[in-house]
Structure 1
Amino acid sequence: MKGSLLKKGFAALAAFAVGVSGLALGVTTASAADGLTAADYGHSITVTGSANALKERSFTAIRLAGFDEGASLDVATESAVEQNVKNALSGTAYNASKDGDPMAWVAANLKDSTSSPYSGELRNFVTDLAHQLQGTAGNTDGKWSGYKATANSGDPDETGENVYTLNNGVTGGIYLIIDKAANGKLASNSIPILVGTSVKDVTNASGKVEVKNNVPPLEKTVTNQVIGKSEYANFKVTTAVPNYVGYQKGMYVFKIIDSIRNDTTSNDTTKIQFDDKFDLKVTIDGVTDPIPAQTPTTPGYELTKSAAGFTVDLSSYIESKAGTKTINREYVNGVPTPNKTATVLTAGTPDLTGKTVTLTYNALVTAEIGTDGAQNDVKLQYSNNPKIYDEGDTPTVTEREDHEKVFNVPLKIKKTDKTSGQPLSGAVFQIIDKDGTNLTSKNLTATSGADGLASFASLGLKQDANDKTKYESTFTVKEVTAPKDHVLPSDPTFKVKISATVSGTKENAELTDVKYEIVAGGGLQTFASVFGSGVASIVTVKNAKNITELPLTGAAGTALFTVIGLLLAGAAATVFAKSRRTSKALQA
């Protein structure tokens, strides 16, 4: 069967291209010269896109219609697919008895899917047709060539243009391109593409089409990376809703999976965990309030949570906001088989495609983490193949990941005798202040053992406002109990500044350049000093056995001088009294 299109319809048909993410239908008023021959039609189809959109893809091109020579453009639908095309037009205004060639009618009448979210009769037609033909090998299958990979083609955000070109066996006409390779690939499959070969002197009729497969962004951040024990790390995950138009309802997947790790193989909830102050909030741009947790009567996110991780499933919520279209699964002699239908998603109101999804939540630090860090991973799992699945099938998904780490630092104090230098046990130290914030109520204490060591194993540091990789805090430490047979000054405190740098990013981050410094302030300042380097540093604090060994500064010095003054005054009085008695005896 042939259909003739004169200049107006011909220009639209020649530039015919509809696919994913902005593949324009190319309706143009330009016209071709009369008297077209086979030489005026292109003999190739080129698919362009970013490295990851095309990397390791496998496309099948199925010829739907051909262009014939003549003063006007004659379109002939391929007999092998003519019934499939008519089936896909079921429910449209197409009338086979009066409208003639089905592909010519499509080009002249279906022009409503040229921009995001690519919904409408033309998209429904292509989805239905691709479902019918998705198992077809295609007369050009496997003959694509010319993909130009870049050095960084493994990068999810690679944008360098690359191409697949199909040269073998292509003659002027209209082709359906099906993206066959998704399983495990970063980019989801393109929704099916309809493209015409180039035609001489017709604007935009280039025989080229751009694929912008869905690679949703994923970023995980933490407000402060150096977190102390009993403090909360504040995490944020940002991603976006990929295009869901054309995906089968009930088979669409969009999940965010978060887990805590202290090493590369296992969860470790002994150091960081999700507790009852998890405080999860899920938001999507364009939706005023945070998305609620799903209930039997209210659509929302589905949450599965443990101390070691959680999953937020937004699949059902996104489906609830989408529109739907019923297509036929099966035809017999052009007649849809009863009860053999599938429902596919169309754009909703509001359309969520491309909208930013944000998760914020807290994780409790429960123990020493150290400079290697505790890793928190997030995984995005999303549908990658807009096909109609057979009953019992499991939808295929793509996963991408991001990572973040948190750390903390130790403070080791060694108590020694001022005279002998021997370690002293039984000294009790308490951190009473951090950067001007009183911490007395937190009861952060440590007691020296037989080796003289008292350790605060997991302290957090303040992030620099200008350089987010730099951390520093000043702690005031008080000796609240002296070792046996030793004494305390009236101001038994000292101040230590701890600084560090987070080097590297994501899973490769580590805490480096950790430094300890005794700073001015406190009666024990002159009795405290730092030995060693990095996290192996030890603050040694000497302890006096009697008051004469105490530092002569501040209140302690005043007290010592007062005592000595009183002793001297008493001795002078005694000498004076004896002198008077001696004088009187001599005068008697």
Structure 2
Amino acid sequence: MALGVVSAQAADDTDGTITVTASNGTASHTLAAYKIAAYNSGMYQAASGGTLDKTTFNYIVDSKDGDAIESALLSAGISENASGTLTKAQEGLKKLSGDDSSGNPNTYGYQAGTNTRNSSERKFADALAEKISNTDTATEWTPSYSAPVPAVTGTNTFSATLPEDLYLILDSYAGSANSTQSVPMIVGTTFANTAITDAGNVGTVTLKHTTAPITKEVVTDENGTAPNNDPSYNTTDTVYSKLTTKIPNYDGYASDPTLNNKNAIRQLSIVDTFEAGKFTDQKVVSVYDTTKNQKLTLNSDFTTKAESTTSSATDLNKLTIDFERLVNKAQANTTKNLGQAWDGWESGDTITVIVSGKLFTAATTTTKGSTAGTGADTQGNNNTVQLTYSNNPSDTSKVNTVQGPIVNVYTHEFTIHKVDAAGSNLQGATFQVSTGSTQLKFTKDTDGAYVVDNDSSTATTDLVSGSDGLIKVKGLKASKDGVTYTVKETKVPDTYLQAVAPTYKVTLKDQFDNDGTNPARSGAATEAGDDWLTDLSYTYDTTQDVYKLVTASTSGTSAPTGDTATVKNVASITQLPKTGAAGIAMFTIIGVAVIAVAALFAVRARKASQRA
């Protein structure tokens, strides 16, 4: 119905104010006030101490509103007789209470986590709200007066100056913010009688809506106990992420344990999406209600679905974890192999999900850092999360979809440039790369680069230079303390000296800054749930390269400093750098020859002694 003055009584000439506090913000909410009854302005008095003298106070119900109010009072279990000049509706309004059946205050007026109304005020408010939205003209209520309650710019409040009345406040929620539609509220304006200096909370009410957070962070292992502030990986390593949310406040929301009535089925689900084509083996590792330390069970408390965001039949990069069964306390369904849902949860409990995926050999690799930002880093491989939950207590099929944070993980690369003594590209040289005692295995990608691959049965340890002399090595981990790789030439091309094949080490060291917009961890921005690669350095150790064949370029003799090392082969010792290396090489070659000759003579001597 349109908002505005429909009719007014003389008693409405004196104004009061209503202030509604919205703890989760005013965005997407539109409030309207519908008059229930006027105050007996000019007649009620202040008691000693500045409080309201209740013996002098009465409500005045417009004749147009009387039937609807009496009917709603009956729904609340209040049936009063007319008394003197007061109608049944006016007498009944004085009996409304926000307390539950035990006399305890109840913020929402429902049994916790249900739509069971346990205060007369809640029953009355809901019944009256239903009459406004009723499509049956015989029972529909058109209030005698209504007006908007606008949001106050720059605050989390709504406020309006209105005739001094008791009002029903209804929320129309657009569903574009992380919030829910409020349940109906009853509030009276402040008193115009300035002698009442202690009116308590009259004129104020808190919007009865809720919100649900969704966070994500990269963690070190499947238990999720420690954040990974250095999210650098080898390709085919497993990446673990922790997703967290809270069970929304379901006070006032219907539920259906049979899951048959779509308008009464509460919705709560998390969708985790890995960047397409960059991860494999995506799976849900574990799900807990960490508040209750309760492990949740697949196909009893939640279900999962894996699908692709592309046309790929194998890259199932989108994981949905659906808690519909949990929040509706669903019954077992033996036909569908679904168990009874756990019913020990409460609104506000933290739900923690650990998901994993292997960093694919097609992952983005990088040789440098960038300025810390937020969202998807083009130099990394990202993973994002969304939360969907019911946002309307009168229709649980209506939902919010809330975008959570994006996190990034990284892997790196370096290049070997193989040349001859003149600096020309050299094809056919073979290298191996190791870290510590681990020999790395590789497969080739579509561009001919070698990518770390610990899963393929056809992976090789041998890296061979192409016609351009290049060997690009990808999928390498770095760390803040540095990861050192030993690069060894194991076979030189034909016609080149095998005895002077070089070995060198390169250490990859990274640095990360926190993304302060990611709320996954509590505390300051330095404890955010996403970390951006801001620096990547390459440090070379060429002490094993006694022949000075590992350099920064084809023409120089200085050691490399960037992501590419130039590695030379020579056809003769005369092509070695003029640093004494030729002499060293000569002695090495002579030494090898002497050892070979000595071995030959030893074999011959052994055979001669055997014949004797």
Pairing of 1:269-348 with structure 2 (within 5 A): 269=277, 271-275=278-282, 278-294=283-299, 298-306=300-308, 307-320=316-329
Return the letter of the residue paired with 2:29: R
CA contact (8 A) 2:75 2:123 kept: no
Give the aligned partner of residue 537 of structure 2.
Answer: 515
How much has 1:49 moved relative to structure 2? Answer: 3.0
Alpha-carbon distance change, 547 to 432 in structure 1, aligned in 2, over 3 angstroms: farther
Alpha-carbon distance change, 55 to 368 in structure 1, aligned in 2, over 3 angstroms: closer
Alpha-carbon distance change, 399 to 210 in structure 1, aligned in 2, over 3 angstroms: same
**Given the two structures, how large is their TM-score scaled by the length of structure 1?**
0.68
Q: 1:44 aligns with which of 5, 17, 22?
A: 17
Task: Tell me how large the CA RMSD over aligned residues is.
Answer: 4.1
Alpha-carbon distance change, 567 to 227 in structure 1, aligned in 2, over 3 angstroms: closer
Give CA deviations for 1:256-311 in whole Å, capped at 9, x if unaligned: 112223xxxxxx22x22344xx24211123333321111xxx33344444522111
How much has 1:163 moved relative to structure 2? Answer: 2.5
| Structure 2: runs of 5 or more not aligned | 1-9, 45-54, 112-116, 135-140, 219-227, 256-263, 309-315, 332-341, 367-377, 442-453, 455-459, 519-529, 596-612
CA contact (8 A) 2:151 2:157 kept: yes
C-alpha separation in 2, matches of 1:280 and 1:125:
47
How much has 1:369 moved relative to structure 2? Answer: 0.6
CA contact (8 A) 1:226 1:460 kept: yes
C-alpha separation in 1, matches of 2:567 and 2:65:
88
C-alpha separation in 2, matches of 1:93 and 1:498:
74
Give CA deviations for 1:136-182 in whole Å, capped at 9, x if unaligned: 77666553346122xxxxxxxxxxx43321114x223x222111123
Return the letter of the residue paired with 1:133: I
Give the aligned partner of residue 164 of structure 2.
Answer: 171
CA contact (8 A) 2:492 2:501 kept: no
Q: 2:569 aligns with which of 543, 547, 550?
A: 543
Pairing of 1:208-247 with structure 2 (within 5 A): 208-211=204-207, 213-222=209-218, 223=228, 224-247=230-253
Give CA deviations for 1:86-131 in whole Å, capped at 9, x if unaligned: 5555676534459953322213865545347953512454344433
The number of equivalent residue pairs is 467
Q: 1:107 aligns with which of 97, 103, 112?
A: 97
Pairing of 1:48-197 with structure 2 (within 5 A): 48-50=21-23, 53-68=25-40, 69-70=43-44, 71-77=55-61, 79-85=63-69, 87-88=71-72, 93-96=77-80, 100=88, 101-107=91-97, 112-115=104-107, 119=111, 120-122=117-119, 123-134=122-133, 141=146, 143-145=148-150, 147-149=152-154, 161-168=155-162, 170-172=163-165, 174-197=166-189
Give CA deviations for 1:167-212 in whole Å, capped at 9, x if unaligned: 14x223x222111123223322222222122242444134012336
Give the aligned partner of residue 494 of structure 1.
Answer: 504
CA contact (8 A) 1:486 1:546 kept: yes
CA contact (8 A) 1:131 1:387 kept: no
Calculate percent identity across the aligned residue pairs.
Answer: 24
CA contact (8 A) 1:474 1:498 kept: yes
CA contact (8 A) 1:409 1:458 kept: yes
CA contact (8 A) 1:127 1:246 kept: no
- Residue 462 of structure 1 aligns to a residue in which SS? coil
- Residue 301 of structure 2 aligns to a residue in which SS? coil
Give the aligned partner of residue 480 of structure 1.
Answer: 490
Return the letter of the residue paired with 2:567: V
C-alpha separation in 1, matches of 2:291 and 2:57:
46
C-alpha separation in 2, matches of 1:387 and 1:525:
80
C-alpha separation in 1, matches of 2:353 and 2:561:
34
CA contact (8 A) 1:65 1:77 kept: yes
Alpha-carbon distance change, 184 to 522 in structure 1, aligned in 2, over 3 angstroms: same
Alpha-carbon distance change, 228 to 552 in structure 1, aligned in 2, over 3 angstroms: farther
Pairing of 1:314-393 with structure 2 (within 5 A): 314-320=323-329, 350-366=344-360, 367-371=362-366, 372=378, 373-388=380-395
CA contact (8 A) 2:234 2:476 kept: yes
Alpha-carbon distance change, 90 to 285 in structure 1, aligned in 2, over 3 angstroms: farther
Alpha-carbon distance change, 422 to 559 in structure 1, aligned in 2, over 3 angstroms: closer
C-alpha separation in 1, matches of 2:297 and 2:285:
10
- Residue 105 of structure 1 aligns to a residue in which SS? coil
How much has 1:448 moved relative to structure 2? Answer: 0.7
- Residue 406 of structure 2 aligns to a residue in which SS? strand
How much has 1:416 moved relative to structure 2? Answer: 1.4
Alpha-carbon distance change, 283 to 81 in structure 1, aligned in 2, over 3 angstroms: farther
Give the aligned partner of residue 271 of structure 2.
Answer: 257
CA contact (8 A) 1:247 1:387 kept: yes
- Residue 125 of structure 2 aligns to a residue in which SS? helix
Pairing of 1:453-464 with structure 2 (within 5 A): 453-463=470-480
C-alpha separation in 2, matches of 1:129 and 1:531:
83
